[in-house]
Structure 1
Amino acid sequence: MPEARTLSVAQAADRLGMSTVSVYSMIANGRLPRVPMASKARVHVADVDRVAEERRTEARRRVLNEEGYAGQIRDVLHPPVPETITLADGRVQARDLRETVRIAQLPRGREALKIVLHGYQDAVAIFGKNVLTAAALAGDACAWCYAIADARVHELPEPQDSPALRVLLGEPCPRDLVRWAADDAERRLAMVKLKEGEHAARREAERQRLRAEFSVASLAARTAASRLASTRARLAVVDPASVALAASSAGGPTGPGSLRCGCTADRYCLAHAELFGTRTRT
């Protein structure tokens, strides 16, 4: 059995988008179990991913409109362009100079990312640190490709296409769309193969069950036939008439108007003739 992967506290904090102090706190209160016998505090990757999913679920309960929240985070990372107006002479100027100055002074890039990572924990929990990093730093490159590459490097779940992530990361590039289509086709094929395997397994299980049932029934039939032959032989010694009567009954009627035992309208069968002492029926 392969050994479960573990992370240091710093690696776990980076994976969760949290501070090391917060990770130590979760270890102390038992939410994130510490790996036993380790000289330094380490945690299992599976436990870190479980905590990440719990935090994502909790955050989504608080954030009612995920697309709107994604737009809010996008505006923190990339402050919107100030509104402008066009003058009569064709010149363009800011509608509100004070607002323009305020927006110009807002942090961007890494500084804005720091604000989001430390001040918007619900965004970190819902979208993930790698997605927020891509949204802040991708620049002119495809933010989706940036986030997917970062997830692969750090062995994180790749971001899945959703309306909220399109608000945050923008539209995916054609390469992403082609890759997603191929991945979707591969998943569909794998699902078909899985269902076919399940059906084949069920058919084989039913075949094995019927084979076992047939084997038991055949054995019971052979045993019953053997017992019948043995009993008939013993009965023939002490009561041959009964054996003859049973044989006649098993043979069925011998002609029109005959009974199953072989008796006719005017004559008894051999078994009944021996029983009554005559072949003639009156």
Structure 2
Amino acid sequence: MRDASRAGEPAAVRRDDVDRLVYERRLEASLRQRDAVEFARQVRRTLWPDEELDRVVLADGREDIANPDQARRVVSAPRGRDALRTLNPDAVALFGRAAVETAAMDRDAWTGNCRWCFADASARALGGLAPADSPAYRALLGSDPCPRDRARWQQETTARRKARARLEAAIEDRRRAEAQARARQEFRAARDGLSAASQRHATAVRSLASVDPSAAPVTAAGAPQGRGPGNLPCGCTYATYCPTHAAMFGTSDRSVSRR
């Protein structure tokens, strides 16, 4: 994971290794926390326990805490950033440090501001997981994303689709090029094999004709092929042997050898 560095200097960590580690930890946390939405609600209650207080509306219209004992427990419990140390480690692994720390910030600071935008900017600046458009992140951050977040996600989705289309097109082009290269190679091999077979066939025909002119190939009309006066280089015709072959076979009548 670490690159070698000179003595006394910190080792560099590759971004790919960090991303892989973040992904592996998130996967492990998701296996332990099967219901991400309910787990996000638990994290939110740990950070801000007063949000879960039971309240009643008084006669004059004001709200008050329904259970004083519950209120005392909430008041004594840590909240906000002080409650971060009490969280289940799966919170950061599953949702990312940027979103968790944003959820723990003072709620009064978000008046007129977007928690989602801040968490996304923090994740991009510091690394790690950025909030995604999901019910779990809504439960954790305690709000809905703003129009800028939705527009950014739409742009990112479109960019991913285009990148995937380009990748698929590149893969298809490479497969097509490989198939064409294989076809050309097979064609050249077949052509070379045909040429070699033709040469072997011509040599065999000459060898056979020198021993048995009666087996020499003929045309479709039955006429023999050859160059000499007897239609074969040696002088044999379709009906008679040349003197050399007549002495070899003991006859000048080629029809005798074909009976």
> TM-score scaled to structure 1, two decimals?
0.67
Deviation, 1:212, is 0.5
Q: 2:187 aligns with which of 214, 217, 220?
A: 214
Q: What are the equivalent positions in structure 2 for 1:62-211 lying under 5 Å apart? A: 62-78=32-48, 79-80=50-51, 82-88=53-59, 90=61, 92-104=63-75, 106-108=77-79, 112-137=80-105, 139-140=110-111, 141-169=113-141, 170-211=143-184
> In structure 2, what residue type is equivalent to 1:58?
E
Distance in 1 between residues matched to 2:144 and 2:197, nearest whole Å = 77
Question: CA, structure 1 residues 103+277, in 2 after alignment: closer, same or farther (shift >3 Å)?
Answer: closer
| CA spacing shift, 1:58–1:210, aligned 2, 3 Å | closer
Q: 2:45 corresponds to which letter in structure 1?
A: D
Alignment check: 8 A CA contact 2:98 2:130 kept: no
Alpha-carbon distance in 2 for matches of 1:91, 1:36: 64
Aligned-residue offset at 1:89: 5.5
Q: Is the 8 A contact 1:113 1:132 kept in 2?
A: no
Equivalent position SS for 1:176: helix
Q: Deviation of residue 202 (structure 1)?
A: 1.3
Identity of aligned residues (%): 33
Residue 80 of structure 1 aligns to a residue whose secondary structure is helix
- Per-residue CA distance 1:155-210 (angstroms, 9 max, x = gap): 33433333211211232111111111111111112212222222221111111111
1:275 aligns to 2:244 (yes or no): no
Gaps of 5+ in 1: 7-34, 255-268
Offset at residue 106 of structure 1 (A):
4.4
Gapped runs of 5+ residues in structure 2? 224-236, 241-251
Whether the 8 Å CA contact 2:5–2:12 is kept in 1: the answer is: no
Which consecutive aligned stretches of 4+ in structure 1 deviate over 6 angstroms post-superposition? none
Task: Report the secondary structure of 1:44's partner residue.
Answer: coil
CA-to-aligned-CA distance 1:102-126 (integer Å, 9 cap, x gap): 4345444xxx224224542221222
Counterpart contact for 1:241–1:274, Cα < 8 Å: no
Report if the CA contact (8 A) 1:67-1:167 is conserved. yes
Q: Structure 1's 92 and 191: CA in aligned 2 closer, same or farther, altered over 3 A? A: closer
Matched position secondary structure for 1:229: helix
For the residues of structure 1 that align with 2:28 and 2:253, how far apart are their CA atoms?
A: 94
Partner of 1:11: none
> Which structure would you say has the larger Rg?
2
Distance 2:7 2:134 in 1: 40
- 8 Å Cα contact 2:2/2:11 also seen in 1: no
**Count of aligned pairs:** 227
Using structure 2 for the length normalisation, give the TM-score: 0.72
C-alpha separation between the residues in 1 aligned to 2:256 and 2:52?
Answer: 124
Q: Residue 85 of structure 1: SS of its match in structure 2?
A: strand
Match of 1:29 in 2: none
Report the residue type matching 1:127 in the other structure: F
Which secondary structure does the structure 1 equivalent of 2:132 belong to? coil
Shifted more, 170-179 versus 60-69: the winner is: 60-69
2:8 is equivalent to residue 39 of structure 1: yes
1:239 maps to what in 2?
Answer: 212
